[in-house]
A = this chain, B = another copy of it.
Amino acid sequence: MTMPEHPVAIAAIDAPPRVKPSNYPQPFASRMAGRRKQPLGDLFGLANFGVNLTRLAPGAMSALRHAHTKQDEFVYVLEGHPTLRTDEGGTRLAPGMCAGFKAGTGNAHHLVNETQQDVVYLEIGDRTAGDSASYPDDDLEMVFVAAGERKIQHKDGRPY
């Protein structure tokens, strides 16, 4: 008997955590402490977009505040009250609330857990080729190199 390549369905909470907690160089990687991502879409072999179940402990953040050039993103809050920070400022979210981040607008976003309770949300991002990302609050940028390859560097182009 052969096992199927992918499960039919799973309880999201049972998905394995992402092996590499952060793709940022230091000191930014350390700022992702308290963030746990469980990739869901990958478990089913999805290639066109990723879905993560992400948990933020008190004080944790979803990512550095950033904007993508090609890839859309979307979040749906399942538990807790994250603060969404964009160019418009901060907006406190609640379970059942959602937000979308259209590629190419330059409006940078992230979620920060400023409460004493965990925050849990679904995040979806597509994998359109040629994407890069800007980080208005930090000295880094992510630039497209080639299909499937991006690099993170200082804003003046020096490597980390």
Binding site for B on A (CB under 8 A): 4, 6, 8-13, 40-41, 43-49, 51, 71-72, 74, 76, 84, 86, 88, 91, 93-94, 96-103, 122, 124, 126, 128
Contact = CB atoms under 8 A, between A and B. Distances in A.
Contacts of A4: 88
A72 B126 CA distance: 11
B45 A9 contact: no
Given A41-B72, A49-B72, A100 B6 contact: yes
A100 B43 contact: yes
This chain's copy number in the assembly: 2
B44 A100 contact: yes
Contacts of A43: 100
Contact of A49 (B45, B49, B97, B101): B49
A58 to B, nearest CB: 21
Given A41-B74, A88-B4, A102-B44, A126 B49 contact: yes
A11 B99 CA distance: 9
Given A6-B102, A10-B99, 13 more contacts: A9-B97, A11-B97, A12-B96, A40-B98, A41-B72, A44-B102, A45-B100, A45-B102, A46-B100, A47-B72, A48-B71, A49-B49, A51-B74
A15 to B, nearest CB: 8
A91 to B, nearest CB: 5
